[in-house]
Structure 1
Amino acid sequence: MKAGVSAPLVIHHFSSKAGLRTACDAYVAEQFRRTKTESVRRGHMPRNVAHEAIAANRHLVKYLTRAFMDGGATIDALFDQLVEDSLVYTSEAEELGLVYPSRNPRHRAVVILLQSFGSLILHRQMERHLGVSLLDDEPDPAGLDAYMAAVLELYTQPMMNAEAFAELMNERTDR
């Protein structure tokens, strides 16, 4: 085994390989939640903190990327936990005035996670077009800045004008 332990030791501690996977998933979800919660409680995230957080948690990001690509019921449970955790720290961010409230916080959380992890799964395309992959052991800071600037623009600057949005939402609700 890559971890340097025997199969009987895994079975002794986790009952099965699936039990080990469940324990790993729980650990990753907790670390992800902790990092996000600490960022919210900081009240802001200077660029160097974001770079450090990505570097410090790269192993978790790689694990999550592989896990989502593998799929399955245990991964569904992991994603569900990430959604639930996101609702908690995003609510705290709302209370602190860092993010705006949402009409549907759960849907917003799901879409943000889908977009975030989708970009990781498409890391090769990110590297081709932005010059950085978040899965690289030492990503280029300039490429990372370009990626983060684009993401933050999407989150802070409206892309669609208010009239087009209202029209789209009215057409959707009339059906």
Structure 2
Amino acid sequence: MRSVSKEPADVDRSDLTARARVRDAAVQLFGRSGFNVSVRTIADAAGVSPGLILHHFGSKQGLRETCDDYVLQKVREYKEQAVRPASADELLLAMASVEESAPLVGYALQSLQAGGDLARSFIDHFAADAEEWIAAGVKAGTILPSLDEKARARYLTVQGFGALLLDLTLNPPEDPDDFAGVMRGYLSRMGLPSTELFSQGLLADRSMLDAYLLYVGDPPQP
């Protein structure tokens, strides 16, 4: 079980500022280069000693957990500030286009590739949101109902992020810090086929679904 670090009451403001500098430098470096970046490299970027990082976070894993919590919190804040429900790629593009939040996108993408607690929390969070806006669409008559709304929302979330990560692997960015360019490139390649698939469908009838339901022991009921 992860431990939650608490700052002692007598830590002065400059100490807290150093902690934030380390966290921000780690988010940027992890997002750009992955999680094998050394503590010394992070310390150099933050302008502190490696020993200070260990003092604040206990270990590199402790620093990673702090970064995980910070990035997920900031992503949630961006979603809460959104004027309307947004898909994952729309939100990430909006965040990537803002200088101060762009490193969060890089970190999130690296975390999804690496797996772990943040990846699971990230997917769970987006799937829950997707379920809400899909339900609103079903109620409004703009989205067809599903036999299993929760499963569909999670599938769309996993499919969306999976397609994004595979596309990034096949089309690595020239500038790894240009997260807005990364997202725009993905949308330019995938925007038309995904929109066409969702709006027009793929199969001409439901025979494949009917055949699948015959082999399900306890199929969901409409």
User: TM-score with structure 2 length normalisation?
Assistant: 0.54
Q: What pairs up with 1:1-175 in 2 under 5 angstroms?
A: 1-2=41-42, 3-4=45-46, 5-39=48-82, 41-42=83-84, 51-56=93-98, 57-71=101-115, 75=116, 77-94=117-134, 96-97=136-137, 102-122=146-166, 123-126=168-171, 137=178, 139=181, 144-173=187-216
Q: Distance in 2 between matches of 1:142 and 1:120?
A: 10
Q: Residue by residue, what CA displacement relative to the aligned partner does 1:110-161 show, whole Å, maximum 9, x if unpaired? A: 433432332343214257xxxx89x671528576334223333333332223
User: Over the residues paired in the alignment, what is the CA RMSD in angstroms?
Assistant: 3.8
Counterpart AA for 2:57: F
- How far apart are the structure 1 equivalents of 2:112 and 2:75? 15
Q: Deviations over 1:44-86 (max 9, x none)?
A: 78xx988534433542332233233334xxx1x2122123312
User: Residues of 1 paired with 2:160 and 2:91: CA distance?
Assistant: 18
Q: Structure 1: which amino acid aligns with 2:84?
A: R
- Does the 8 A contact of 1:119 with 1:126 survive in 2? no
> Does the aligned pair in 2 maintain the 1:83–1:109 contact within 8 Å?
no
The answer on whether the counterparts of 1:29 and 1:82 sit within 8 Å (CA) in structure 2 is: yes
Task: Measure the CA separation in 1 of the matches of 2:132 and 2:204.
Answer: 28
Query: Structure 1 9/86 Cα, relative in aligned 2: closer, same or farther at 3 Å?
Result: same
Q: Secondary structure at the match of 2:206?
A: helix
Q: Say whether the 8 Å CA contact 2:96–2:102 is kept in structure 1.
A: yes
The sequence identity of aligned pairs, in percent, is 25
Question: In 2, are the aligned partners of 1:87 and 1:109 still within 8 Å (CA)?
Answer: yes
CA contact (8 A) 1:65 1:121 kept: yes
Unaligned residue ranges in structure 1 (runs of 5+): none
CA distance in 1, matches of 2:120, 2:155: 12
* Structure 2 gap segments, 5+ residues each: 1-40
Matches of 1:168 and 1:60, distance apart in 2: 43
More helix per residue: 1
Residues 172 and 116 (structure 1), Cα distance of their counterparts in 2 relative to 1, 3 Å cut: same
Across the two proteins, how many residue pairs are aligned to each other?
164
Residue identity opposite 1:31 in structure 2: K
